[in-house]
Amino acid sequence: MNQPSLIEFSKIGASHLGYISVAQNSDLPFEIKRVYWTYFTPDSVIRGHHAHRNLQQLIFATSGQIEFTLEDTSGTKTCYNLDSPTVGLFIPCFYWRTIKFSHNAVLMCLASMEYDEQDYIRSYEEFKSLKPNEIQ
Protein backbone atom coordinates (compact mmCIF):
# COMPACT_ATOMS: atom_id res chain seq x y z
CA MET A 1 0.00 0.00 0.00
CA ASN A 2 1.58 3.26 -1.12
CA GLN A 3 -1.39 5.55 -0.50
CA PRO A 4 -2.72 6.84 2.79
CA SER A 5 -5.98 5.21 3.77
CA LEU A 6 -8.48 5.06 6.59
CA ILE A 7 -8.87 1.57 8.05
CA GLU A 8 -12.00 0.72 10.02
CA PHE A 9 -11.49 -1.67 12.95
CA SER A 10 -14.21 -3.76 14.47
CA LYS A 11 -15.83 -2.68 17.69
CA ILE A 12 -16.45 -5.49 20.18
CA GLY A 13 -19.03 -4.86 22.88
CA ALA A 14 -22.23 -2.90 23.34
CA SER A 15 -23.21 0.63 24.31
CA HIS A 16 -24.16 -0.38 27.87
CA LEU A 17 -20.79 -2.18 28.39
CA GLY A 18 -18.26 -0.23 26.37
CA TYR A 19 -16.07 -1.46 23.54
CA ILE A 20 -12.77 -3.09 22.61
CA SER A 21 -11.03 -2.59 19.28
CA VAL A 22 -8.06 -4.73 18.30
CA ALA A 23 -5.12 -4.25 15.94
CA GLN A 24 -2.95 -7.28 15.27
CA ASN A 25 -0.14 -7.82 12.79
CA SER A 26 -2.11 -10.26 10.66
CA ASP A 27 -4.62 -7.49 9.82
CA LEU A 28 -2.17 -4.65 9.20
CA PRO A 29 -0.24 -3.40 6.15
CA PHE A 30 3.06 -3.70 8.10
CA GLU A 31 4.47 -5.44 11.16
CA ILE A 32 4.29 -3.38 14.37
CA LYS A 33 7.74 -2.68 15.88
CA ARG A 34 6.89 0.25 18.16
CA VAL A 35 3.90 1.91 19.79
CA TYR A 36 3.88 5.47 21.08
CA TRP A 37 1.24 7.94 22.15
CA THR A 38 0.98 11.71 22.22
CA TYR A 39 -1.17 13.63 24.68
CA PHE A 40 -1.72 17.00 26.46
CA THR A 41 -0.92 18.84 23.22
CA PRO A 42 -2.33 22.38 23.47
CA ASP A 43 -4.90 23.06 20.72
CA SER A 44 -2.85 26.11 19.66
CA VAL A 45 0.07 23.90 18.61
CA ILE A 46 0.64 22.32 15.20
CA ARG A 47 2.88 19.25 15.42
CA GLY A 48 4.47 17.11 12.73
CA HIS A 49 6.25 19.16 10.04
CA HIS A 50 8.19 16.17 8.81
CA ALA A 51 8.10 13.11 6.55
CA HIS A 52 9.71 9.68 6.92
CA ARG A 53 11.96 7.80 4.52
CA ASN A 54 11.04 4.27 5.66
CA LEU A 55 8.60 4.48 8.55
CA GLN A 56 5.01 3.37 8.01
CA GLN A 57 2.43 4.29 10.63
CA LEU A 58 -1.11 3.58 11.66
CA ILE A 59 -2.52 6.45 13.70
CA PHE A 60 -5.57 6.47 15.96
CA ALA A 61 -7.30 9.23 17.86
CA THR A 62 -8.06 7.04 20.87
CA SER A 63 -9.81 10.07 22.35
CA GLY A 64 -10.64 13.56 21.10
CA GLN A 65 -10.13 14.81 17.57
CA ILE A 66 -6.96 14.95 15.50
CA GLU A 67 -6.63 16.63 12.11
CA PHE A 68 -3.92 15.29 9.86
CA THR A 69 -2.91 17.04 6.66
CA LEU A 70 -0.81 14.79 4.45
CA GLU A 71 1.10 16.07 1.45
CA ASP A 72 2.81 13.91 -1.13
CA THR A 73 5.98 14.91 -2.94
CA SER A 74 3.95 16.21 -5.92
CA GLY A 75 2.17 18.71 -3.65
CA THR A 76 -1.23 16.97 -3.34
CA LYS A 77 -2.66 17.62 0.13
CA THR A 78 -5.37 15.56 1.81
CA CYS A 79 -6.95 16.33 5.18
CA TYR A 80 -8.11 13.55 7.51
CA ASN A 81 -10.19 14.24 10.59
CA LEU A 82 -9.75 11.42 13.09
CA ASP A 83 -12.52 11.44 15.67
CA SER A 84 -13.26 7.78 16.33
CA PRO A 85 -11.20 5.16 18.19
CA THR A 86 -12.31 2.58 15.61
CA VAL A 87 -10.57 4.27 12.65
CA GLY A 88 -6.85 4.18 11.91
CA LEU A 89 -5.04 6.39 9.39
CA PHE A 90 -2.39 4.45 7.49
CA ILE A 91 0.52 6.70 6.48
CA PRO A 92 3.08 5.27 4.05
CA CYS A 93 6.59 6.70 3.85
CA PHE A 94 7.29 10.04 2.12
CA TYR A 95 4.21 11.98 3.29
CA TRP A 96 4.73 15.39 4.84
CA ARG A 97 2.33 15.80 7.76
CA THR A 98 0.97 18.52 9.98
CA ILE A 99 -1.13 17.55 12.97
CA LYS A 100 -3.63 19.53 15.05
CA PHE A 101 -5.12 18.19 18.26
CA SER A 102 -8.22 18.99 20.28
CA HIS A 103 -7.19 19.68 23.89
CA ASN A 104 -8.34 16.22 25.08
CA ALA A 105 -6.87 14.23 22.17
CA VAL A 106 -4.69 11.17 22.62
CA LEU A 107 -2.87 9.99 19.49
CA MET A 108 -1.73 6.39 19.42
CA CYS A 109 0.74 5.40 16.74
CA LEU A 110 1.56 1.86 15.67
CA ALA A 111 4.88 2.09 13.86
CA SER A 112 6.79 -0.22 11.53
CA MET A 113 10.26 0.68 12.89
CA GLU A 114 12.00 1.61 16.08
CA TYR A 115 12.75 5.32 16.55
CA ASP A 116 15.49 6.57 14.23
CA GLU A 117 16.06 10.30 13.85
CA GLN A 118 17.92 9.59 10.57
CA ASP A 119 14.64 8.37 9.09
CA TYR A 120 13.07 11.85 9.45
CA ILE A 121 13.00 14.48 6.72
CA ARG A 122 12.50 17.64 8.76
CA SER A 123 13.21 20.19 6.03
CA TYR A 124 10.21 20.99 3.81
CA GLU A 125 12.59 22.21 1.10
CA GLU A 126 14.46 18.89 1.18
CA PHE A 127 11.13 17.00 1.02
CA LYS A 128 9.94 19.02 -1.99
CA SER A 129 13.21 18.55 -3.82
CA LEU A 130 13.24 14.73 -3.57
CA LYS A 131 13.75 13.07 -6.95
CA PRO A 132 11.54 10.11 -8.03
CA ASN A 133 14.49 7.70 -7.67
CA GLU A 134 14.90 8.79 -4.03
CA ILE A 135 11.30 7.85 -3.20
CA GLN A 136 10.75 4.15 -2.72
Active site residue ranges: 50
What is the rounded CA–CA span in Å between residue 82 and residue 106? 11
Nearest to 95 by CA among 113, 121, 117, 129: 121
Q: Which residues from 97-126 bind ligand TYD, rule CB under 6 A?
A: 115
Size of interface with ligand TYD, in residues (CB under 6 A) = 6
Backbone angles phi, psi at 94, to 5 degrees: 65, 40
> Applying CB under 6 A, does 48 fall inside the site for ligand TYD?
yes
Q: Which of 21, 32, 47, 106 binds ligand TYD (CB under 6 A)?
A: 47
**Cβ neighbours of 52 (radius 10 Å):** 21
What is the rounded CA–CA span in Å between residue 39 and residue 71? 23
> Applying CB under 6 A, does 39 fall inside the site for ligand TYD?
no
Q: Which residues from 67-86 bind ligand TYD, rule CB under 6 A?
A: none
List residues binding ligand TYD (CB under 6 A): 36, 38, 47-48, 50, 115
